[in-house]
């Protein structure tokens, strides 16, 4: 897996997003189809609607309880 032990923090735009959940995307935090191409199991992307432009912290450790957002679990 290519998970990082920290979130990806950036300015997100509104719209429907597909965030990587398998950890293998080359276009994180977004899905690039790697979960199917690499056969890494059932970790399909997390679909989420961003209602307005805002700063987000997208989980990249795979352990959050509030997907797709970081909830601080990576630091515990
Ligand atoms: S990166 Fe913070 S909980 Fe996953």
What is the CB neighbour count within 10 angstroms for residue 63?
14
- Contact residues for 5 (Cβ-Cβ < 8 A; gap 6+): 61, 74
Rounded to two decimals, the pTM is 0.85
Q: What is the mean pLDDT of residues 2-27?
A: 91
pLDDT tens digits, one per residue of 28-74: 999 999 988 887 666 789 899 999 999 999 998 889 999 999 999 99
Give residue 69 CA to ligand 1 midpoint distance, Å: 7
Whether pLDDT at 1 is above 70: no
The pLDDT assigned to 42 comes to 62
Q: Is the CB of 32 under 6 A from ligand 1?
A: no
Q: Is the CB of 67 under 6 A from ligand 1?
A: no
Give residue 61 CA to ligand 1 midpoint distance, Å: 5
The pLDDT assigned to 41 comes to 62
Give residue 39 CA to ligand 1 midpoint distance, Å: 23
């Amino acid at each position: 897996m290519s998970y990082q032990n920290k979130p990806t923090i950036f300015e997100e735009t509104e719209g429907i997003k597909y965030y990587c959940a398998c950890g293998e995307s080359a276009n994180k935090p977004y899905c690039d189809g790697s979960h199917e191409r690499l056969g890494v199991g059932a970790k399909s992307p997390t679909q989420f609607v961003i209602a307005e432009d805002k700063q987000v912290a997208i989980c990249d450790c795979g352990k959050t309880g509030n997907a797709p957002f970081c909830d601080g679990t990576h630091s515990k």
